[in-house]
Chain A
Amino acid sequence: MIMIKETIVIKNENGLHALPASRFVKLADTYSSNVSITKDGIEVNGKSIMGILTLACEKGSKVILKCEGRDEKEAMKALRLILEGQD
């Protein structure tokens, strides 16, 4: 299995705050792939709301989204939309 990763700029007006973070986690949970977000060298589990919130992703910050598993492509496609505020 290969892992895919993409660099994404957070476009949500308030950064990745509680509501988009909740949506992200709920959606991430529907995929069997492992999902992680990395910001400033700190990597957290993409299925952990506390992890994501503690990254404090403000609008404009750069993060790396990694998906690894059978459905990694679908996961990447859907999850990046939330980070970009387009869901």
Chain B
Amino acid sequence: MAREKILKGIAVSRGIARGTVFVYETERIEVFQTPIHPVYLDDESARFERALDKTKRELVNIQERINQEIGQDFAQFLDAQILMLDDDAINKEVKKRIIEKKKNAEFVFHQVMNEYAEKLGASKDTYLKERVADIWDVGTRVLRNLLGLTHSSVVDIPEGSIIAAHDISPSEAALINPKTTLGIATEVGGRTSHTAITARALEIPAVLGIAGLMDKIKNGEKVIIDGDRGILVKNPKAGRIHFYENAKKKDQELQKELSPYCEMPSRTRDGRHIDISANIEFFSEYTHAKKYGAEGIGLFRTEFLYLTRRGTPTEEEQYRVYNALAARMKPNPVIIRTYDLGGDKIFSDYHEANPFLGWRAIRVCMDDLDFFKSQLRAILRASVNKNVKIMFPMISTYEEIKRVNLIFGKVKKELHEKNIPFDEDIQFGIMVETPSAAIMSSHLAHQVDFFSIGSNDLTQYTLAVDRGNEKISQLFDHFHPAVLNLIKRVIDSGHESHIWVGLCGELAADPIAIPLLIGLGIDELSMNPSSIPRAKMVLRAITIAQCEGIAETVLGFRTALEVKKYLRRQLSSILPNIDKVIP
């Protein structure tokens, strides 16, 4: 019996899968040089044409698939590849050289592509340099078709497979079939790679970035992918299989029990409506938000636009994504948060000792106004859908809001002058995630239309705990009374100024926190789409009077432990089967 082995990677798509390894390899293509007899030169050109046609049909099919399954905005990268196939300059050059050199199409085509790739690779511009990957993605496809090689494709893999690969190219990732593919593991790639986006869109468990995967794994081996913990278990022991089968069964039963709640209105037992919305990171996740019954997008993180393409997106690219999301969610609201990027993400040579206390989010944007304004314009243009709200992260001072508001006003004026339409009544809000903003919230409330409490950062800054630091992560607790008192203060300040207050941190999805937050007066809870049914289940079981009583008691506690014990007890008495749905 082979030994069990655990490989660690990055958890990018949740869920558990047990299956058989299918090693997906993009084998190297050997291009041979053969002389062609003059009589057959025309045939050689014709063969090249057929290979181009076949490749084009393949790419168009892939593009249609992406359009349907993930969304148009993700299929655009294929436009350039398809145009490369249509490119007359290449086409003519290849045919000319076939005749001149009397050589086979593979050799000539490879040579021509190589020349283009070299020119592009020599560019100083990193973005253009990276297009070399596109040239080879499409070039390799043509060569395979010329050589009559069958694609080692992820399309036709046996049922019950776990794909293991060094990397999966974007055009190939789009072909992953959820009927046969139970899980995905790769050596490279992270949360923002195409493979990760595809896996989440198809709800296939995936662990990426597993170092040395291809040396450690073989075709046909039995493995478990744990997309929650980010691990791959090779040759799992009977006990481990049992554990995961159990976990999977429980998860399925839970989903079954909770699924009716997706469709139900988010109201307390005594009829108070609370907005339950979804936090999403990628455009394609709007389908999950809808599926799980979100009433809107409470937080659309925009960083992916920057990170997936490793560079500044144009205003047009940003606009297309925001507009598509707003149009698909209409009439439900979409809150777009401006870039929450650390300086280190934008400038590869920039490092600082304390990134969380450093140059990030609104602070970076305010120092790069061209970049910031292009995002504001894109959001404003998308606001013609009448359901867009804008939100600014990491606000820590009153002056900051004044300055942001000034710039926002300028951008609106510029759009007016150009007769570009937008929603004049667009709501302008801030994330309250620094203690300074929470403490000063009664003043900040006069300047904005809403607050959204970012409880993760608020906890980290209030308790002075970096939760990424394993030595002290046990000190990170969003139930700490210091955090809860600040949350109460923010909600009260908001309501005094007649603005609504939401919460979009992990606290919002915690079942025992929901009665407390409602008792404190929260108007909106925004969470991961898959947590929504459970939140509705809790919400529909409680009354405002119960919640207010709970909140009052909690505010008298001194420790996070007291708070949690009490909340758990209270929720169990209201919902006796709650233990089943709390992990």
> Contact residues of A with B, CB < 8 Å?
12-15, 17-22, 25-26, 44-45, 47-51, 53-54, 56, 58, 85, 87
Verify if B87 is at the interface (C-beta below 8 Å from A). yes
Contact B116 A17 (CB under 8 A): no
Give every chain B residue within 8 A of A45 (Cβ-Cβ).
88-89
List 19 additional A-B contacts (Cβ < 8 Å) besides A22-B79, A49-B80. A12-B314, A13-B313, A13-B314, A14-B314, A15-B127, A15-B128, A17-B127, A17-B128, A18-B79, A19-B314, A22-B80, A26-B83, A47-B89, A48-B87, A50-B89, A53-B80, A56-B120, A56-B123, A87-B316
Contact B90 A50 (CB under 8 A): yes
Subset of 14 A-B contacts with CB under 8 Å:
A13-B312, A13-B374, A14-B314, A17-B127, A18-B79, A22-B76, A22-B80, A26-B83, A48-B87, A50-B89, A51-B87, A53-B80, A54-B120, A85-B314
Given A26-B83, A48-B88, A50-B84, decide whether A19 and B76 contact each other with a Cβ distance below 8 A: yes
Give every chain B residue within 8 A of A14 (Cβ-Cβ).
127, 311-314
Given A13-B314, A18-B131, A19-B79, decide whether A56 and B88 contact each other with a Cβ distance below 8 A: no
Give every chain A residue within 8 A of B119 (Cβ-Cβ).
54
Minimum CB–CB distance from A81 to chain B (whole Å) comes to 12
Total contacting residues, chain B, CB less than 8 A: 30
Given A12-B314, A54-B120, decide whether A48 and B89 contact each other with a Cβ distance below 8 A: yes
**A54→B127 CA distance, assembly (Å):** 12
**A15→B488 CA distance, assembly (Å):** 48
**A48→B90 CA distance, assembly (Å):** 8
Minimum CB–CB distance from B465 to chain A (whole Å) comes to 38
Minimum CB–CB distance from A25 to chain B (whole Å) comes to 5
Give every chain A residue within 8 A of B134 (Cβ-Cβ).
18
| Of A15, A22, A45, A51, most B-chain CB atoms within 10 Å | A22
Contact A58 B87 (CB under 8 A): no
Verify if B125 is at the interface (C-beta below 8 Å from A). yes
Verify if B124 is at the interface (C-beta below 8 Å from A). yes
Verify if B77 is at the interface (C-beta below 8 Å from A). yes
Contact A58 B79 (CB under 8 A): no
Verify if B43 is at the interface (C-beta below 8 Å from A). no
**A15→B123 CA distance, assembly (Å):** 12
Give every chain A residue within 8 A of B370 (Cβ-Cβ).
13
Given A51-B89, A53-B120, decide whether A58 and B77 contact each other with a Cβ distance below 8 A: no
Minimum CB–CB distance from B92 to chain A (whole Å) comes to 10
Contact B125 A49 (CB under 8 A): no
Minimum CB–CB distance from A44 to chain B (whole Å) comes to 8
Contact B123 A19 (CB under 8 A): no
Verify if B317 is at the interface (C-beta below 8 Å from A). yes
Given A18-B131, A56-B128, decide whether A50 and B116 contact each other with a Cβ distance below 8 A: yes
**A54→B87 CA distance, assembly (Å):** 13
Which residue of the partner chain, among B80, B90, B116, contacts A21 with CB atoms under 8 Å? B80
Q: List the A residue with the shortest CB-CB distance to B112.
A: A50
Give every chain A residue within 8 A of B76 (Cβ-Cβ).
19, 22
Give every chain A residue within 8 A of B315 (Cβ-Cβ).
13
**A44→B90 CA distance, assembly (Å):** 12
**A45→B116 CA distance, assembly (Å):** 14
Give every chain B residue within 8 A of A12 (Cβ-Cβ).
314
**A17→B311 CA distance, assembly (Å):** 11
Give every chain B residue within 8 A of A53 (Cβ-Cβ).
80, 116, 120, 128, 131
Give every chain A residue within 8 A of B87 (Cβ-Cβ).
25, 48-51
**A56→B120 CA distance, assembly (Å):** 7
Q: List the B residue with the shortest CB-CB distance to A25.
A: B83
Interface string of B104-120 (1 = CB under 8 A from A): 00000000000010011
**A45→B87 CA distance, assembly (Å):** 10
Q: List the B residue with the shortest CB-CB distance to A61.
A: B125
**A53→B134 CA distance, assembly (Å):** 11
Q: List the B residue with the shortest CB-CB distance to A24.
A: B83
**A47→B90 CA distance, assembly (Å):** 11
Minimum CB–CB distance from B420 to chain A (whole Å) comes to 12
**A44→B89 CA distance, assembly (Å):** 9
Q: List the B residue with the shortest CB-CB distance to A19.
A: B76
**A18→B79 CA distance, assembly (Å):** 8
**A42→B128 CA distance, assembly (Å):** 17
